[in-house]
Amino acid sequence: MDSIRDLKNLDRDDILAALGLQTKKNAAELVLPVLGIFGAGILVGAGVGLLMAPRSGRELREQLGQQMGNVRERAMSAVGGAEETAAH
C-alpha cells in the first residue's frame, strides 16, 4: 500500500530524475535571469556614474531636469502628432 501511495505522489521531475534525465528549460527560464542581472548592472553603473560625475549635485540635478523636460516635450509632441494622424 505504501508503494502505491508513493507512486501516486511522484511528479514528472521525480520520474525523470529516476531515469537520469531532467526537464528542458524554456526560453523564459533562460532569458529572465539574464535580463535581471543586466538590469541590475545598468542600475549599478548609473549609480557609480553619478557618484563619479565631475559636476556638483545641484548642477547634475539641473541638467537631469532639463533633459527630462526635453524628453517630456518630445513625447507630448509625438502623442499630439499621433492623435492628429488618427483623427484624419
Give the 3-state secondary structure of the chain.
CHHHHHHHCCCHHHHHHHCCCCCCCCHHHHHHHHHHHHHHHHHHHHHHHHHCCCCCHHHHHHHHHHHHHHHHHHHHHHHHHHHHHHHC
Q: For residue 44, is it within any domain?
A: no
Give a yes or no: residue 68 inside a domain.
yes
Count of structural domains within the chain: 1
Is 86 a residue whose pLDDT tops 80?
Answer: no
Predicted local distance difference test score (pLDDT) of residue 36: 92
Q: Is the pLDDT of residue 85 over 70?
A: no
pLDDT level of residue 88 (50, 70, 90 thresholds): low
Q: Is residue 1 part of a domain?
A: no
Q: What percent of the chain has pLDDT over 70?
A: 89
Query: Residue 77 sits in which domain range?
Result: 56-88
C-alpha cell at 82: 499621433
Comparison of pLDDT for 2 and 25, the residue scoring more: 25
* Domain-located, residue 85: yes
The answer to whether residue 21 sits within a structural domain is: no
The predicted-structure confidence for 66-83, as pLDDT tens digits, reads as follows 988 988 888 888 777 666
Residue 72 covered by a domain? yes
Distance from C-alpha of 4 to C-alpha of 86, rounded to nearest angstrom: 65
